[in-house]
Amino acid sequence: MRVLKIGLRGDDVAQMQTALNNLGYNPGPIDGIFGPRTQQAVIRFQRDRGLTPDGIVGILTYGALGIDFTKTTAIVATNINYTYNVMEANIQELQRRYPFLEVGIAGQSILGRNLYYLKLGSGPNQVFYNASHHSLEWITTVLLMKFSENFLQAYVQNRSIRGYSIRKIWDMSSIYIMPMVNPDGIDLVLNGLQRNNPFYEQLILWNRGSTDFSKTWQANNRGVDLNHNYDASWQLSKQAELAYGISGPGPTRYSGPYPESEPESKAVADFTRAHDFQLILAYHSQGEVIYWDYQGLAGPQAQEIAKQFSNVSGYALDQTTGIASYAGYKDWFIQTYRRPGFTIEVGRGTNPLPISQFPKIYNDNEELLLLASVITT
């Protein structure tokens, strides 16, 4: 970790601000900017801990924060822009706190970022939850990461959540979670286009000449919409592109040159093929709606499960139409395995949803995530 001092910016500054805030030292806005208020919070923390109150976060201050952070605070921050680097650091911290947590890598993105998965539980009933196929929908990554942390904490404390015994779920099921399917796209949205990106010129062209990706970009780093890149009526998705004026790579809805052309979608499909998932959830935003069928293939069990999901979340049930009906991960799973698969659209508004919606999103979905882990047993 680098030494932090006034004037610096970055994810590590935001994490440090979060730690200070959680410990009762208000650093001002948690914005990743080391300004005067953050410096004063650091100085107060250092003085109270018997450290040199110089306002610089070096190894001793990191150590003091680390001790308190591990013992008294949450790991997953739910009030910051949740970048790939933040997620990766949080996964490492979860592993340190919960050494029994299984973490793996299902593949890599176009730019070589790891597609991490977490495994919660050791039971025979396998289920799979993924998030952030679309980069503007990064709030869904926070949802799955926070759920994982709360689940792990309840497991070691032998607690129930919403009446569900976490120890029983652990023994009954294995919950596989891939929290960030599209890390490159999220980096474009949250950190902007970097000059060293090997697709720099193409990305500007694909983004209609703009270097601002923060409000428009859903695709991966090659301009392919990952949730239109699966082999489920993929050819119909290609045909529908014309109606939407899509002729090649761009911010959204371009299905790619062929199914699973992208390393991210191929990694998700390969990961699915390598397991025996009885049910999958694909998290997106927005609309507070659950999509549960694909061309009438889902069957009565899936419809009944969807009704139960609707009851516990308050989300409406619906079926996709138009180009959204084709080539999605949930569609491919249902078509291939004839097992329950669901797209869950969280929150309401325009993507990217403000992080201020997170408490409601989490409250709406926590029981759904627990129920999904046992409903097929």
The answer to whether residues 219 and 185 touch, using CB atoms and an 8 Å cutoff, is: yes
Distances (CA, A) of 331 to 90, 234, 263, 336, 337: 31, 10, 19, 8, 10
**258 an active-site residue?**
no
Task: Identify residue 148 by its one-letter amino acid code.
Answer: S
**Tokens 């023994």, residue?**
171
The residue among 327, 324, 326 whose CA lies nearest residue 229 is 327
Cα 196 from Cα 344, distance rounded (Å):
35
**254 an active-site residue?**
no
Q: Which member of 137, 345, 366, 367 is catalytic?
A: 345
Distances (CA, A) of 344 to 29, 245, 258, 283, 315: 31, 27, 25, 5, 9
The answer to whether residues 167 and 155 touch, using CB atoms and an 8 Å cutoff, is: yes
- Tokens (6 digits) for 111: 């730019």
Contacts for 48 with CB less than 8 Å, ≥ 6 apart = none
Contacts for 127 with CB less than 8 Å, ≥ 6 apart = 173, 174, 175, 176, 277, 278, 279, 280, 281, 372, 373, 376
Cα 31 from Cα 305, distance rounded (Å):
40
Q: Which member of 82, 129, 164, 326 is catalytic?
A: 326
> Catalytic residue numbers?
326, 345
